[in-house]
Structure formats: structure tokens, C-alpha cells
């Protein structure tokens, strides 16, 4: 019993690939189109998969591969700007005691795990292709693609990120908004002794962190205030980021500084947010993941929410023979949880920008958020 037999997924990122794998395990045929031409070497440095996202990946048999490939931990370190250790902060195991609290992993490694897990019997993956037109009809959705082909699908899912083309089609008035912060990131060799996220507070910026993503690699990041439209690009980005780190010290930071100018993966990104009100679909076309809900990465839940969306959607589509019923149940399971993550992330972001909350207030909201995220999705 399934509400659909053939699904188009627009977007070959984390949410889209997870959905394709989950649907294929239910013998649902999937076509994935991705506008970029090299998903395996996806742009970006790394990310932290929190316990709830590891548990969700466990639903499709990929938790252990991610844990093995990345760096797992059940605590993080909080330090002063000079590197002095203030405390070991336990990380709530939001996926249950069977999974670590967090796993740092490179984006290319995570994409590789997802790509290798796709069942080519049920999934067709087209890179360098996107849609150019969709026309819903009594038999499904007729889609024309940029490579000149077309196909008819029972259901279409836009998992095409914050600047979603599918969202513009369904909800043209909903646009990402700047949240007042930006993040600098640089890939670096993992500093000796760096086994978990190291957060440095008390300097001129909101936070400076170091995150290990494999035995050999890590990344350093700076969360800073920024104006809407601010950009930093090109060869000078490494020098600008190094200059910002001069107010921070300690052996971990110094290790990052020593290799930053040689990094070929330095980026500056203004942080934006978006939240589409429920439901996230019209007719036979839907959006999930960052296309529907995205906030600043304060809670490290961006990938987790997209992975959870994909797992829940596959469950509902495969256990109902009525599409409207499946999508209604999906909405009841997902909207409030995703909305909480966006709203609480924005509140934490505002507090950082305005310096308007006490450490206790910040800690309380983070614990409340993590407690809710520990509940089944």
C-alpha cells in the first residue's frame, strides 16, 4: 500500500538524497534532479550531526557509517578567548543512548555515504539538470526538464534548499530574511588534541569554534554580526579571517591560525532564515528541509530537520493509499517541531547580536530545545 508509485525529488542535497533512499526502500520509484554537476564533492566544509539526525539516519541503515566516517562525542568544551578551559559541557543524546550526542563530519563524506546508499534499481539520479516547468493534471504532475526531457510523476518534492526554485513556484511571496549574523568557516587540519567542538567565548565576536570532522580534518568558524548584503569573497577571505582570529589564542586556535592561509576552503556566509506556514504543499507538489524551514545554525539542527522530514515523509507515503491523508499526517508530525527550531534559533541569534540575555537564559532555552528534540519525530 502506497500513496504514490513514482516521485520526483528536486535537489540532491542531504534532504533530497535521504528521501530518495528512504522511498526506494519502500519500492517507490524515484527520480532525483540536481542542478550542480558534482554532488559528491559538495561545496562547504563540514557540519555537526546531532543525535536526533543520527537516529533518523539509522532508520535507513546509515547511522554507523556516519559515526565511523566522522568524529563522535558526547560533550563539548567551553573556553575563554585565550583558550583557557572553563568546562566540559555534556551534549544531550537526542537520538537516545544508542547514539552519540554529536558527530562532526565533512559534507563530502556525508554526501558520499548517501550517494553510495542509493539503490540504482529504484532511483535515477541526474546531475546538472533541473526542472523548467511543472503542470499538475488529473494523472499527476507533468514536468519538463532542462535537458529537454519530460516525465509524469505522482508526486513532486522540492528539497532544493534555502533558495528553493520549487518554493518560488508554490509560495512566491516567501523569501529568506537576514538574521543579523554571518559565519566564517575554514577547513584546516584537525588540531592535535581536538576531539570535539571547542567553543571560545569572551572575545569580540559572538563565538569562535573548532570542530573536528575526521581523524585528519577539522574546521574553524567565527560567528559575527553582519549587515544585509555584506560579502567577502576571493583570495583576501583567508587573510580577513586570520585577522579576526588575532584576539583569540591557545594551542588549538594557534594551530588553526598556522594553516588558515593555506586553506583552499574558506567561506563567508550571511545567515538567513525562512519559515513557510503550514501546509508545505499545494496539490501534488511539496517542499521539505531548508526549502520550507531554515534558521541560523545555533542549535546545529539544519541537516537534522531535513533528514527527519525525509524519513517521516517516506513513512507516511508508504503507509497510506491516499496522498492527501499522508501529507496531512506528515504536517501534523513535522510543522510544530520545525517551527520551534527556527524560532528558538532566531531568539538565540538575536541574543548573541544584542548581548541582551544572561548565560542562564541562553542555557535554559538550549536545554528546552534539546529536550523537545529528544522526543520521537
User: pLDDT in tens for each of the 377 residues of the chain?
Assistant: 688 999 999 999 999 999 999 999 999 999 999 999 988 887 678 999 999 999 999 999 999 999 999 999 999 999 999 999 999 999 999 999 999 999 999 999 999 999 999 988 899 999 999 999 999 998 899 999 999 999 999 999 999 999 999 999 999 999 999 999 999 999 999 999 999 999 998 889 888 999 999 999 999 999 988 888 888 877 788 999 999 999 999 999 999 999 999 998 899 999 999 999 999 999 999 999 999 999 999 999 999 999 999 999 999 999 999 999 999 999 999 999 999 999 999 999 988 878 788 878 988 999 999 999 999 99
Q: Are 224 and 244 in contact (CB under 8 A)?
A: yes
Tell me how long the chain is.
377
Angle in degrees, CA 154, 158, 160, rounded to 5? 150
pLDDT of residue 43: 65
Which cell numbers in the block locate residue 111? 554526501
Distance (Å) of CA 325 to CA 133, 139, 313? 26, 18, 12
- 359-373 helix and 323-354 helix, angle to the nearest 10 degrees: 170
Q: Where are the alpha helices (DSSP H) in 86-157?
A: 107-117
Contacts (Cβ under 8 Å, ≥6 apart) of 323: 3, 4, 154, 155, 284, 317
Where does 53-138 show beta strands of DSSP type E? 71-73, 75-80, 85-90, 102-106, 123-127, 131-137
3-state secondary structure of 276: coil
Q: What is the pLDDT of residue 106?
A: 94
Burial 188-216 (b: 16+ CB within 10 A, else e): bebbeebebbbbbeebebbbbbbbbbeee
Q: What is the pTM of this model?
A: 0.96
Nearest to 352 by CA among 271, 289, 287: 271
- Roughly how many angstroms between the first and final C-alpha of the chain, as a whole number? 22
pLDDT recorded at residue 338: 98
Euclidean distance between CA atoms 29 and 58, whole angstroms: 21
234's CB contacts (< 8 A; 6+ apart) are none
Pairing of the two strands 140-145 and 131-137: antiparallel
- Residue 44: predicted pLDDT: 74
With 0-12 / 13-18 / 19 or more C-beta atoms within 10 angstroms meaning exposed / middle / buried, residue 233 is exposed
Per-residue confidence (pLDDT) for residue 354, from 0 to 100: 81
Angle, CA of 168, 347 and 350, to the nearest 5°? 95
| Alpha-carbon gap, residue 377 to 95, rounded angstroms | 10
Amino acid at each position: 500500500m502506497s500513496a504514490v508509485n513514482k516521485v520526483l525529488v528536486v535537489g540532491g542535497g542531504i534532504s533530497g538524497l535521504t528521501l530518495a533512499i528512504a522511498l526506494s526502500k519502500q519500492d517507490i520509484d524515484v527520480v532525483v534532479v540536481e542542478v550542480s554537476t558534482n554532488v559528491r564533492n559538495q561545496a562547504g566544509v563540514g557540519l555537526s550531526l546531532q543525535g536526533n539526525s543520527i537516529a533518523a539516519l539509522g532508520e535507513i541503515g546509515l547511522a554507523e557509517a556516519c559515526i565511523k566516517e566522522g568524529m563522535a562525542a558526547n560533550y563539548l568544551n567551553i573556553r575563554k578567548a585565550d583558550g583557557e578551559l572553563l568546562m566540559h559541557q555534556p551534549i544531550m543524546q537526542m537520538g537516545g543512548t544508542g547514539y552519540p550526542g554529536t558527530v562532526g563530519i565533512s559534507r563530502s563524506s556525508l554526501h558520499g555515504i548517501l550517494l553510495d546508499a542509493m539503490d540504482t534499481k529504484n532511483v535515477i539520479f541526474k546531475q546538472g539538470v533541473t526542472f523548467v516547468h511543472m503542470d499538475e493534471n488529473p494523472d499527476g504532475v507533468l514536468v519538463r526538464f532542462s535537458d529537454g526531457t519530460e516525465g509524469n510523476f505522482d508526486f513532486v518534492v522540492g528539497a532544493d534548499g534555502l533558495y528553493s526554485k520549487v518554493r518560488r513556484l508554490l509560495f512566491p511571496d516567501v523569501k529568506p530574511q537576514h538574521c543579523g549574523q554571518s559565519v566564517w568557516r575554514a577547513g584546516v587540519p584537525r588540531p592535535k588534541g581536538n576531539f570535539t567542538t571547542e567553543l571560545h567565548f569572551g572575545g569580540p565576536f559572538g563565538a569562535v569554534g573548532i570542530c573536528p570532522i575526521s581523524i585528519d580534518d577539522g574546521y574553524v568558524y567565527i560567528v559575527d554580526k553582519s549587515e544585509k548584503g555584506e560579502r567577502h569573497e576571493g583570495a583576501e577571505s583567508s587573510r580577513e579571517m586570520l585577522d579576526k582570529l588575532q584576539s583569540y589564542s591557545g594551542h588549538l586556535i594557534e594551530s588553526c591560525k598556522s594553516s588558515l592561509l593555506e586553506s583552499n576552503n574558506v567561506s563567508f556566509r550571511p545567515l538567513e532564515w525562512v519559515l513557510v506556514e503550514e501546509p508545505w504543499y499545494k496539490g501534488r507538489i511539496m517542499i521539505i528541509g531548508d526549502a520550507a524551514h531554515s534558521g541560523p545554525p545555533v542549535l546545529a539542527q539544519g541537516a537534522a530537520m531535513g533528514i527527519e522530514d525525509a524519513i517521516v515523509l517516506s513513512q507516511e507515503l508508504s503507509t497510506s493509499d491516499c496522498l492527501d491523508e499522508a501529507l496531512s499526517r506528515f504536517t501534523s508530525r513535522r510543522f510544530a517541531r520545525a517551527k520551534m527550531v527556527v524560532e528558538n534559533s532566531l531568539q538565540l541569534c538575536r541574543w548573541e547580536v544584542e548581548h541582551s540575555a544572561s548565560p542562564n537564559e541562553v542555557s535554559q532555552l538550549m536545554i528546552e530545545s534539546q529536550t523537545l528534540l529528544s522526543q520521537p519525530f
